[in-house]
Amino acid sequence: MLFFCRKGKQPFQLLFLLAILFFTSCASQKARVRDEKVDKVIQTARSYTGTPYRYGGTTRSGMDCSALTIHSFRTLNMDLPRSAEDQSKVGKEVKLKEVQPGDLVFFATGKKKRQITHVGLITEKKAKDNVKFIHASTSLGVVEDNIYSTYYIQRFRTARRLVD
């Protein structure tokens, strides 16, 4: 139908179609690049699964939550601050219901209910109430948990997106 239009309309419609194809291919290319970066970060984080927790630790013999995210994002040549609280100021804020794999999530797990003391990395979004994140738990070391578990959802404070 596009090629059987009135005289003079065909070039405009052809350009319009080409513009749509160009912009949709750019958007899908951008999404693929983001997915590849996020997969690399998550794969790195998961390689630390089972690593014991050690406050201030930064190696496979023991690490804390912020060290896990630092090592994970370093695979993209991104440097993060050392503390969870400082990491919570990097990137773009996103709502919990809009988190995607690769986003950082922050919690107040200490005595002060507003002070951010813990960070994790979203790894999977299976359903609206089944969102997995990996983190360095003080009791279990590096593990994946559901952010909607009673313990974590009550302590959730904010989420940030570092990879667009």
Residues noted as catalytic: 65, 118, 135
Report the candidate in 68, 71, 57 with the shortest Cα–Cα distance to residue 105. 68
Nearest to 141 by CA among 76, 41, 59: 59
Radius of gyration of the chain measured on its C-alpha atoms? 21
Cα 130 to Cα 46, 47, 144, 147, 150, distances in angstroms = 18, 22, 12, 7, 12
